Amino acid sequence: MIDALPVGQSLLDEVLVAVLGLCVVLAFVVVASRVWIQRTATSSRERLAPLRTDLIAVGAGEDPSGKSRRRLVDDRVAGTVLDRALVDLLTKVRGAPAEDLVAVLRERHGVSTALRSLDAASSVRRARATRTLGLLRDPALTDDIVRMLSDRSREVRIVAARAVGAIGAGAGSEAAEAVLRAVRTRRSGPGVPATVAMQTLTRLGVEAGSAVSMGLEDSDPGVRNVAAAVAGHSLFIGCVPRLTRLAATDEDRTVRVSATEALGAVGRPEDVPAVAHLLAPEQPAVVRRAAARALGELGGTDAVAVLVSVLADEDRFLAVASASSLAQSDEGRRALRRTAQDSHAPEAARSAVRGAVQLLDLQSSERAG
């Protein structure tokens, strides 16, 4: 036992020295990285400086003679630094200046370089190339971008989804279907985020119609949720029957909420009973609140009557949501004031409408002033 103590102390000393050495190495790596980043940034600025005036002129559409554009095309010094600057500028401009920037990129072989980089080993390079192709907004490049929706890197798939959105309706219905498929969960991790897919499909407009219709029947709840949300935002009226079924029976509550809210946007007066059924006490709280919001969007005498009936509900969030929905229509606003002034109405109901009535009074006084 006595001999073991020095050995243990020696081991601790060795570990301490190793840890200190590792800390020194890490500190050196951090400092070296910062120095390298600063030098790279400085070098990029210096290489780009002679062309900055030309970049601004082309990007602002103030190059009637085409001389600035020609200097950008002919440059052989700035290299990829200029190409990246052109891509960054494309995110800020539209119209003729954007077309000029795209033309410069093509003449500098930036497009062909981006196409080759789609197969690069680095996910950063693949993502950057995909982003570049999307910013060109060329429907002819859709297939190249769509295949990146199956990339092994989730970051690249996200960039690809946004690139499809940048192309817009010209990407076509098959691209919309590919975006929805990319939402599915993979064994390697989650799919494209719902918000990204929704934004992309909304930008595709009517071209996303068939994909959304099929998405409502998909086995993946994430896909159904995105499809339901897009159906509401894009006013796909033909999806109402499917939305009604999802809102009432889907096993995923998030899907039910999205479908219910979509019904508020695309539904008709005859859909009020189906939405009103979702206010039943046995329904999940989030679905009931979504139904209250949807009824406010649908409006009409029947919707107002249903909303008034839940103003005294035990779920105070539902009651307040119902009051807010009533405030969206003239008939609903009259119902709010009647409830607030009715001494026989439950105190819970009068409490729920009080805030909405005060807001209405404030808005009226501001208009009068």
pLDDT in tens, 255-283: 999 999 999 999 999 999 999 999 999 99
pLDDT of residue 188: 67
Q: Encode 209-226: b = buried (16+ Cβ within 10 Å), e = exposed.
A: bebbeebbebebbbbbbb
Q: How far apart are CA 130 and CA 149, in angstroms?
A: 10
Taking residues 173-184, what's their average pLDDT? 96
Is 0.95 topped by the overall pTM? no
What is the residue type of 209? G
**How is the chain split into domains, by residue range?**
135-267, 270-369
The owner of tokens 């000029």 is 100
Q: What is the dihedral of CA 203, 209, 211, 217, to 10 degrees?
A: 130
- What pLDDT band is residue 83 in, cutting at 50, 70 and 90? confident
Do 135-267 and 270-369 fold alike per CATH? yes
Taking residues 195-213, what's their average pLDDT? 95
Class of the domain covering 270-369: mainly alpha
Q: How far apart are CA 250 and CA 256, in angstroms?
A: 6
User: Into which CATH architecture does domain 135-267 fall?
Assistant: Alpha Horseshoe (1.25)
